[in-house]
């Protein structure tokens, strides 16, 4: 259950919390810039929700059955639109984020940025802090990488997104980028989720590689209950018994998320498949399934990439994909 309040006083909030507590319900108050809400968990049969609407300061009560409250479609019927520069996630457009897995040098990122922008990408990506499975693999250029992506983003005129792997680095990364990415391995790093909630930057929240849809939405709830509702979900494939592809891209998650939540959901077919050959067809399948955007790894010379070369498109492959997507999105009544 969620209790919405209109500019309440501290006293009014406490009266609601006390009433919930007397009935054995667990109440939490969340105040963001425009509203105060109280979430109540527990056995709702113990209380009469409509009585709360008679209390001073209370606007209305919404019954939300799911454990994620703020992320649920029950709480908010209309789609959330997250805007980052010219990219709008959750509307009729399908923004495409493109760039290399890792930032390797100014030239590598600049060349990629120019190429993907010319082909129609509206955001540039690149990792400065790389969460690698092996400690011996390239770990990213770190702060130097952040400076490169900030400079290239300005130079080519694209907003930028980069991954944050450590709560202690959130402030530094937020100073350099327009959107913070939480990677699959950190989807349940709750300390990190709480820290990005207070960074007040849009967040790209990737699905954990073994996370259920509910766990993924609960991760979004951590960010939203921390006062940041600018969350874009990203399906990037999950672990299954299949080993031919790097992951199994769960495209069913797209319509399911759109049913359960008002948050935008985009798809990353690069990590979802692990091989550049499958990126084009699965990008198109994602759009057909209703995705609100795409994230595609592009490298000017994939065979020399320091990370994820096998799944990276060349700028030429990417331009070809964008032109094919243009035809598809038009047929679907949407646009890139
Ligand atoms: C990435 O986007 O480069 C990345 C590491 O993704 P994921 O967290 O989905 O593996
Ligand atoms: Mn990658």
pLDDT value at position 187? 98
Give DSSP secondary structure letters for 85-144: TTEEETSSB--EEEE-SB---HHHHHHHHHHHHHHT--EEE-BSS---SSTTS----THH
How far apart CA 214 and CA 219 sit, in angstroms, is: 9
State whether the Cα torsion 256-258-261-264 is positive or negative: positive
What is the rounded distance in angstroms from the CA atom of residue 164 to the CA atom of residue 162?
7
Average pLDDT score, the chain: 96
User: pLDDT by residue (tens digit) across 279-310?
Assistant: 999 999 999 999 999 999 999 999 999 999 99
Residue closest by Cα to atom 1 of ligand 1: 101
Ligand 1 test: best mutation among 163, 186, 298, most atoms within 8 Å of CB? 163
pLDDT one-digit tens code per residue, 69-123: 999 999 999 999 999 999 999 999 999 999 999 999 999 999 999 999 999 999 9
Q: What pTM, to 2 d.p., does this model score?
A: 0.96
Over the stretch 114-127, which tens digit does the pLDDT of each residue have?
A: 999 999 999 999 99
Give the model's pLDDT for residue 32.
Answer: 74
> What's residue 33's pLDDT?
67
From ligand 1's centre to the CA of 181, what distance in Å?
9
pLDDT band at 19 (very low <50, low <70, confident <90, very high): very high
> Tens digit of pLDDT for each residue in 142-201?
999 999 999 999 999 999 999 999 999 999 999 999 999 999 999 999 999 999 999 989
Confidence at residue 31, expressed as pLDDT on a 0 to 100 scale: 84
Look at residues 263, 264, 293 and name the one whose alpha carbon lies nearest to residue 75: 263
Q: Whose CA is nearest to atom 9 of ligand 1?
A: 184
The pLDDT tens digits of the residues spanning 209-256 come to 999 999 999 999 999 999 999 999 999 999 999 999 999 999 999 999
């Amino acid at each position: 259950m969620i209790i919405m309040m209109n500019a309440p006083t501290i006293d009014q909030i406490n009266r609601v919390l006390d009433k919930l507590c007397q009935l054995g319900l667990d109440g939490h108050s969340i105040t963001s810039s425009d509203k105060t809400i109280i979430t109540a968990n527990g056995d709702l049969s113990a209380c009469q929700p409509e009585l709360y609407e008679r209390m001073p300061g209370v606007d209305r009560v919404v019954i939300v059955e799911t454990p994620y409250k703020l992320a649920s479609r029950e709480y908010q019927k209309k789609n959330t639109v997250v805007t980052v520069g010219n990219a709008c996630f959750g509307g009729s457009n399908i923004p495409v984020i493109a760039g290399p897995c890792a930032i390797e040098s100014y030239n590598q990122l600049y060349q990629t940025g120019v190429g993907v922008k010319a082909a129609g990408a509206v955001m540039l990506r690149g990792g400065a802090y790389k969460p690698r499975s092996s400690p011996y693999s390239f770990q990213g250029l770190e702060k130097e990488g952040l400076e490169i992506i900030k400079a290239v983003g300005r130079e080519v005129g694209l907003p930028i997104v980069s991954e944050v792997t450590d709560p202690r680095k959130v402030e530094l990364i937020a100073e350099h980028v327009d959107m913070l990415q939480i990677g699959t391995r950190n989807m349940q790093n709750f300390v990190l989720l709480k820290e990005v909630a207070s960074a007040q930057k849009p967040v790209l929240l990737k699905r954990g590689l073994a996370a259920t849809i509910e766990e993924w939405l609960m991760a979004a709830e951590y960010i939203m209950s921390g006062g940041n509702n600018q969350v874009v979900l990203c399906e990037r494939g999950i672990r299954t018994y299949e080993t031919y592809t790097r992951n199994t891209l769960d495209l069913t998650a797209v319509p399911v998320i759109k049913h359960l939540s008002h948050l935008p959901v985009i798809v990353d077919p690069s990590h979802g498949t692990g091989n550049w050959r499958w990126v084009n067809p699965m990008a198109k399948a994602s759009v057909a399934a209703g995705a609100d955007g795409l994230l595609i790894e592009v490298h000017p010379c994939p065979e020399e990439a320091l990370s994820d070369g096998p799944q990276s498109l060349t700028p030429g492959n990417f331009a070809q994909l964008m032109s094919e997507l243009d035809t598809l999105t038009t047929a679907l009544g949407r646009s890139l």
